[in-house]
A and B are shown apart, each in its own frame.
Chain A
């Protein structure tokens, strides 16, 4: 909460128009805030000094004249000026309204102007699906072989109902080996086979 708010509450304290809860919050804030403590001291001093001022003695004619002056002044003010500010134009409501309008505008933008997500394409024909796959593979025989390997693994999975039991059947295993790994494997196999 800002110091401005607490300083307004300090004025309310002097006017004895503050709730207990605010009073408590104010006390807690004053412990921490030197500026507000200084402000409190200054308004208390002003109030004290104002009490010590002598009241001016005004004649009854002055008050009679005062009333008539006041009436004249009020009548001279245009009716529009007499009205208080419209409800929505009070500053805090103005900000609230502006925020709401902004949120609504952003919402409308996303609703109407954002490009729609590309709809998922559903293929219903087996031949169409295959054609698409073949087109994407093109003449890339390496890609075709890798794809075929994955299909074979899936067949094995479907037949066994689980993952391939033999790691060497997994194309990922072979794909992850480097040239050195393969040479090492080859030499080990040769050793074992006594070649």
Chain B
């Protein structure tokens, strides 16, 4: 990895750590860590050039931040929807609005992913695009494997104590 890439990455991480994200809930923290890991691994797997790194990192960080915000709103809308369903006096129109909002947010989340992939499409070579597809599959599978390892750690800890 080039110096510029490392520099940009360090800046990105610092930016993330220094931002109000630190106050976010556990889940968002995990999400951000996964996002950072994805970016790092992607840089290595796709063998991004300095120029590409300089383009990709800011876009990636912006889109991920947008997605975190969307996720936050989804969480809030879901809470509202649960409350409405538990309240017998709630009106159908309110429920309808929440459902509509949730569907829109879901589409917005997907649109962000599409936006990033379109951006990559226009900035990567054909081979890098192919590598990205394979990298994505490996990375997502790797997350599942990490979760299994985490489970094993928990089980072992429970057994020991």
Q: How far is the CA of A155 from the CA of B113 in the complex (A)?
A: 22
Q: B14 at the A/B interface (Cβ < 8 Å)?
A: no
Q: Is A167 an interface residue (CB 8 A)?
A: no
Docked-complex contact A127 and B110, CB < 8 angstroms: yes
Can you report 27 A-B residue pairs in the complex whose CB atoms are below 8 A from each other?
A: A123-B137, A124-B136, A124-B137, A127-B110, A129-B139, A130-B143, A133-B34, A133-B143, A141-B26, A144-B26, A144-B27, A146-B150, A146-B151, A148-B26, A148-B29, A148-B30, A149-B150, A151-B33, A151-B34, A151-B146, A155-B40, A158-B40, A158-B41, A171-B153, A172-B153, A176-B156, A178-B160
- The answer to whether B150 and A147 touch across the interface, beta carbons within 8 angstroms, is yes
Nearest Cβ in chain B — how far from A130, in angstroms? 7
B36 in contact (CB, < 8 A)? yes
Bound state CA distance, A22 and B15, in angstroms?
Answer: 89
Residues of B in contact, count (CB < 8 Å):
37
Residue of B nearest to A132 (CB): B144
Interface residues of A toward B: which range? 35 or more
Within 8 Å of chain B (Cβ to Cβ): is A28?
no
Q: Taking the nearest CB of chain A, how far is it from the CB of B106, in angstroms?
A: 9
Interface string of B123-151 (1 = CB under 8 A from A): 00000000001001101110110110111
What 3 pairs across the A-B complex have the smallest Cβ distances?
A129-B140, A146-B150, A147-B150
Which A residues contact B (CB, under 8 angstroms)?
Answer: 122-127, 129-130, 132-134, 136-137, 140-152, 154-155, 158-159, 171-172, 175-176, 178-179
Q: Nearest-CB distance from A39 to chain B (Å)?
A: 68
Say whether B144 contacts A127, CB under 8 Å. no
Contact partners of B137 in chain A: CB under 8 A: 122-124
The reply to whether B143 and A129 form a contact with Cβ atoms under 8 Å apart is yes
| A151/B113 contact (C-beta < 8 A), A124-B136, A133-B143, A143-B154 known | no
- B29 partner residues in chain A, CB cutoff 8 A: 148
| Residue B18 interfacial (CB < 8 Å) | no
A134 vs B140: C-alpha distance when bound (angstroms): 13
A142 to chain B: which residues have CB within 8 Å? Answer: 154
**Contact present for B26 and A143 (CB under 8 Å):** no
Q: Does B157 contact A (CB under 8 A)?
A: yes
Which residues from chain B contact A150 at a C-beta distance below 8 Å? 146, 149-150
Nearest A residue to B143 via CB reads A133
B59 to chain A, nearest CB (A): 14
Chain A residues lying within 8 Å of B150, measured Cβ to Cβ, are 143, 146-147, 149-150
- Which residue among A125, A140, A176 has the maximum number of chain B CB atoms within 10 Å of its CB? A125
The answer on a CB contact under 8 Å between B26 and A155 is no
Please report the C-alpha to C-alpha distance between residue A148 and residue B36 in the assembled complex, in whole angstroms: 12
Residues of chain B with a CB closer than 8 A to A122's CB: 137
